[in-house]
């Protein structure tokens, strides 16, 4: 099991995403932000589910893409 460390800017980005979506729908804003957090939670038990970020060339820094549709 790995530990996920959120940067301040990443948390702010999620907050901004939620605020933007909430302008049209509080429900979908909450669903989206929760699903994004859940996707990252998967990385704790499955750290290699994403792909390595080429800019860093470090296996411990990954990128996980999640499509959220409703």
Residue-wise pLDDT tens for the chain (70 aa)? 788 888 999 999 999 999 999 999 999 999 999 999 988 888 888 877 777 788 887 877 777 777 766 5
Whether residue 40 contacts residue 68, with contact meaning beta carbons closer than 8 Å, is answered with no
Query: What's the residue count for the chain?
Result: 70
Residue 40: the pLDDT is: 85
């Amino acid at each position: 099991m790995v530990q996920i460390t959120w940067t301040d800017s990443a948390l702010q980005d999620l907050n901004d995403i939620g605020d933007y979506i909430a302008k049209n729908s509080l429900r979908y804003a909450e669903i989206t932000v929760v699903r994004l957090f859940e996707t990252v939670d998967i990385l704790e038990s499955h750290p290699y589910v994403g792909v390595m970020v080429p800019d860093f060339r470090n296996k411990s820094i990954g990128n996980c893409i999640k499509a959220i549709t409703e």
